[in-house]
């Protein structure tokens, strides 16, 4: 116990300070690894998709995406996870524990990251992450990365059972479940309909119960999903966050922008062929 206390106290008496950001470390090794963030040095590369990391441990965790290794197993069901943190969050599904509450509404969450993303997506208009290709702005880095795949068409996540590849881990997980029955289905106890994610099942159950939790603050309309409310709120706003990268047209919704870009791309190709 004394050893753990001594190690902990070293955090408060760290002698090695980063000259760039002021962050402190208790040894030169920790400081050296941290400096890679500022220098962009990522010596550890994935042999499958080429993604690079500042730490060997980060590469080990990432490699589980490709290998399918899940060393952290739930003691209450047969589900397993690649990260210990994901197992901790999963166990809250069995206990019903949601310790993190949104300060702006009554919604509770299993993790602080879920709560923060909820607060930014639902209660804030701040979009600080811009797309290099088209200028569209996003609430989180994850949203931006997912969007950039539309431009780059990168699909680094490969299925180990077939030749399919995907742009996100979530898409790969859904494919493994639907095509190879690998994973856990979430079943509605009322109509026995199956869903690939717990989130989709929860949204489905709200329709059985008639619960419309999301209320528009501009009109009396109510919705089952936050996404439906967000789409509806565009009716009351003049904000056009989506733009065509081929012309100057702007749109309120992603769907409207996609339809336009398909038509605009066809016109652009035709014009090029004529020339």
CA–CA distance from 155 to each of 151, 167, 179, 188, 202 (Å)?
Answer: 11, 4, 18, 32, 29
- Predicted confidence at residue 138, as pLDDT, reads 83
Per the domain annotation, does 196 fall within a domain? no
Tell me if 6 is assigned to some domain. Answer: yes
Minimal CA–CA distance to 82: which of 183, 186, 187? 183
Position 117 confidence tier, pLDDT thresholds 50, 70, 90 = confident
The model's pTM is 0.40
DSSP, res 207? H
Q: Of 273, 242, 239, which Cα lies nearest the Cα of 259? A: 242
250 part of a folded domain: no
Residue 27 lies in a domain: yes
Asked if 44 and 56 touch (Cβ cutoff 8 Å), the reply is yes
Q: Which residue has the higher pLDDT, 46 or 117?
A: 46
State the residue range of the domain holding 4.
Answer: 1-41
Identify the DSSP state of 190. T
Evaluate whether residue 132 is within a structural domain. Answer: no
Q: Is 267 contained in some domain?
A: no
Q: Tell me, yes or no, whether 13 lies in a domain.
A: yes
pLDDT tops 80 at residue 272 = no
User: What total number of domains does the chain contain?
Assistant: 1
Residue 211 falls inside a structural domain: no
Lowest mean pLDDT among 215-219, 264-268, 269-273: 269-273
């Amino acid at each position: 116990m004394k050893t753990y206390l001594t190690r902990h106290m070293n955090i408060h008496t760290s002698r090695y300070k980063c000259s760039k950001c002021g962050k402190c470390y208790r040894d030169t090794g920790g400081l050296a690894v941290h400096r890679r963030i500022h220098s962009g040095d990522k010596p550890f590369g994935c042999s499958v998709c080429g993604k690079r990391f500042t730490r060997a441990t980060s590469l080990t965790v990432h490699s589980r995406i490709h290998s399918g290794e899940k060393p952290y197993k739930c003691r209450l069901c047969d589900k397993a996870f690649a990260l210990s943190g994901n197992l901790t969050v999963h166990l809250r599904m069995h206990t019903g524990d949601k310790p993190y509450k949104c300060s702006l509404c009554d919604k509770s969450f299993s993790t602080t990251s879920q709560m923060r993303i909820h607060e930014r997506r639902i209660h804030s208009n701040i979009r600080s992450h811009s797309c290099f290709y088209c200028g569209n702005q996003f609430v989180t880095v994850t949203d931006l990365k997912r969007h950039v795949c539309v431009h780059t068409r990168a699909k680094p996540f490969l299925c180990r059972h077939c030749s399919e590849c995907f742009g996100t881990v979530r898409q790969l997980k859904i494919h493994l479940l639907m095509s190879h029955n690998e994973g856990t289905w979430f079943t509605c106890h009322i109509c026995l309909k199956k869903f690939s994610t717990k989130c989709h099942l929860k949204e489905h159950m709200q329709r059985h119960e008639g619960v419309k939790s999301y209320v528009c603050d501009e009109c009396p309309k109510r919705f089952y999903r936050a996404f439906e409310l967000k789409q509806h709120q565009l009716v009351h706003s003049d904000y056009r966050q989506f733009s065509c990268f081929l012309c100057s047209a702007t749109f309120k919704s992603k769907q409207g922008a996609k339809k336009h870009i398909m038509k605009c791309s066809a016109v652009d190709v035709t014009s090029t062929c004529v020339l």
